[in-house]
Amino acid sequence: MKYNYVLHITDDYLYLKKKDKIIKYKLAKDVIYGGKVANINKFMKSLEKLLSENHLNNSLFGEKIKIIVASNYTPADITFLKNIINCFNYRKISIDKELKYYKLNSTNSYVNVFDNYLNITFLDEYKKVNNIYIETKCFLNNDDLMSYINYILGEKEVYLLGSGNLINEIFSNFENRFNKKTYIFKNFETYIITSEKA
């Protein structure tokens, strides 16, 4: 199905795609936390400002939007987000998890890194998708965090996505320290939204 807009929600930014144009909008602190809406009013004001600043206000009959959310969203979180987005008069709202855009196999993993949390996604020995949400403040330092990631993933290759300072630190140290193939996408911040057609 063709959508008028694609919206990718992260802790730091809202990425809105219309046709081939991607608009990056910086969010205030704690509007989104752990990939989920933490402050409804600030989120709605941010989205409204993003749409009005770029002259993308919804038409009278509504338009179709696809929203891409973190892999740790539950069905309740998805319903909650749909109820918020319904206020913007969209005719069709579709919500996909980031997981849909990963090319998972038994030898790789995807680590979506933000400064305050990580989402680690991989297939286990039974070909079941595992998604582990980790808050970075649970670790004394980033070395302990990287050791834990290494422990969870075993021999799997690591593909990094996300934004912030932590992603660069993990990329520069992980492969040398743990002798594990580590890749980062050239467009690691916008990889997911550029994978989706608007």
Strands (E), the chain: 5-9, 13-18, 21-26, 32-33, 36-37, 64-69, 92-97, 108-113, 117-123, 129-135, 157-162, 182-184
| Predicted local confidence at residue 182, as pLDDT | 93
CA–CA distance, 137 with 120 (Å, rounded to integer): 16
CA–CA distance, 31 with 10 (Å, rounded to integer): 10
Question: What confidence tens digit (pLDDT) does each residue in 42-61 have?
Answer: 999 999 999 999 888 766 56
Question: What confidence tens digit (pLDDT) does each residue in 148-167 have?
Answer: 999 999 999 999 998 888 99
Tokens coding 93: 């709202």
| Predicted local confidence at residue 198, as pLDDT | 67
Mean pLDDT, the chain, integer: 91
CB atoms within 10 A of CB 107: 11
CATH architecture of 5-98: 2-Layer Sandwich (3.30)
CA–CA distance, 183 with 70 (Å, rounded to integer): 20
Question: What confidence tens digit (pLDDT) does each residue in 129-139 have?
Answer: 999 999 999 99
| Residue extent(s) of CATH 3.30.420.40 domains in the chain | 5-98, 101-184
Superfamily of domain 101-184: ATPase, nucleotide binding domain (3.30.420.40)
| Predicted local confidence at residue 59, as pLDDT | 65
Do the beta carbons of residue 47 and residue 86 sit within 8 Å? no
